[in-house]
Amino acid sequence: MSASQPSQPPSSSEPSEPSEPPESLEPLEPRRADGAGDGPPPGGDAPTLLVKIFGKDRPGITAGLFDTLAAYAVDVVDIEQVVTRGRIVLCALVTAPTAGGTTEGDLRATVHSWADSLKLQAEIISGIGDNRPRGDGRSHVTVLGHPLTAESTAAIAATITSTGGNIDRIFRLAKYPVTAVEFAVSGTGTAELRTALATEAAEIGVDVAVVSAGLSRRAQRLVVMDVDSTLIQDEVIELFAAHAGCEDKVAEVTEQAMRGELDFEQSLHARVALLAGLDASVVDKVRTEVRLTPGARTLIRTLKRLGYQVGVVSGGFTQVTDDLKERLGLDFASANTLEVVDGKLTGRVVGEVVDRAGKARLLRSFAEQAGVPLAQTVAIGDGANDLDMLNTAGLGVAFNAKPMVREAAHTAVNVPFLDTVLYLLGVTREEVEAADGLVD
């Protein structure tokens, strides 16, 4: 059990005082080799009682239950509590009573009497020891719905079960701008689970991310994003093209490149050539026209507070990404550079072109500079030229992406809020809002 793991009330057919033999539970893990915590673990293979309380929430229920149990000198093995729409479910796994002259029957009677006095329901189940160990293979499955329907939730749960996985815990990460819930799953491999859920998610129209559980999820990490149609709502070259009077022609070529129908470098040179002769002062105008994607500032601000490093790589231009780096406090930024001679754009780019392979190469470079293993990196993008970067990262997120990108990435987000990526990292909306309420 976890301290916040939801529990289910007993079914109407389940007796509150079972007559069958006590349920046998596996013992706790062995004591540490360094001697810390020596002595028998709470519960061990001794008789234990699972005390379940549910009903209308109010202050003092938790204190009242344990004050009642204290009279029987029991040890606490595990606790969990959850409140949903004003209804509390409180579970306590405790050792059998050891106080002189008291019995399990006495404890049961006292707990039921206390619960009745508060108009709560109580159930007490006899057993042996602690919880069974979770199965090998542990993953976090994050599901985003807008809305999240019962039908899609059933499909996700059934798919998890079909892979041999067990759902150990479910909790809500956010209720807006999307509904986000996280499943803690054990008993099946992360890769197998990810493959099965990706197929199901595409069919039912929800976004699902699967990552391995463990300390690495909480470690400092690096997030690298594409810029055009990811960090920002625009395609930068189209903003330049609008000033050159060739926006439609450039947009057509851009769309073909993003779908993977044209070689990116060739298409880049063809589009940039159309900008020849533009006055360099247009750069300042384009910078003011750039529109950040909803949630972009929240995503970056929250990641920085968590100690993440954040970078961007773009097939666009440094004339814009350098400005974004300064405005948003990014750690890394790399893009192509428009050549300027005598105050005019020449229609050429200078230096090495940042293309599909270049983005993956830059992700590796940023990770090395940041001292972050690739397994702890996150990449976000929408186009075909982002695919190598998405597949190189520990977690690749296709953000409102083209179909071929959604199919190839680890996970996809198909809602127009960039900060929903935080939920894939296990960050809750409440945590984001609490951090925003603090003064940095």
Catalytic positions are: 226, 228
How many Å apart are CA 192 and CA 189, to the nearest integer? Answer: 5
Amino acid at 219: A
C-beta separation of 10 from 52 below 8 A? yes
Query: What angle, 0 to 180 degrees and rounded to 10, lies between the N-to-C axes of helices 282-289 and 318-328?
Result: 50
174 touches 433 (CB < 8 A): no
Asked if residue 61 lies in contact with residue 120, where contact means CB atoms within 8 angstroms, the answer is: yes
CB 252 within 8 A of CB 258: no
DSSP of 316-341:
EEHHHHHHHHHHHT-SEEEEEEEEEE
How far is residue 355's CA from residue 361's CA, in Å, rounded to a whole number?
10
Q: Cα–Cα distance between 32 and 408 in angstroms, integer? A: 43
- CA gap 116, 343 in Å, rounded: 83
CB neighbour list of residue 363: distance below 8 Å, 6 or more residues apart: 224, 313, 374, 377, 379, 389, 392, 393
Distance, in Å, from the CA atom of 77 to the CA atom of 315, rounded to the nearest integer, reads 56
Give CA separation, 277 vs 247, 318, 347, in Å.
15, 19, 7
Residues 432 and 173 sit within 8 Å (Cβ to Cβ): no
153, 117 Cβ separation under 8 angstroms: no
* Single-letter residue type at 159: T
Q: Is 205 helix (H, G, I), strand (E, B) or coil?
A: coil
Determine how β-strand 121-128 pairs with β-strand 47-56.
antiparallel
Cα separation of the two ends of the chain: 35
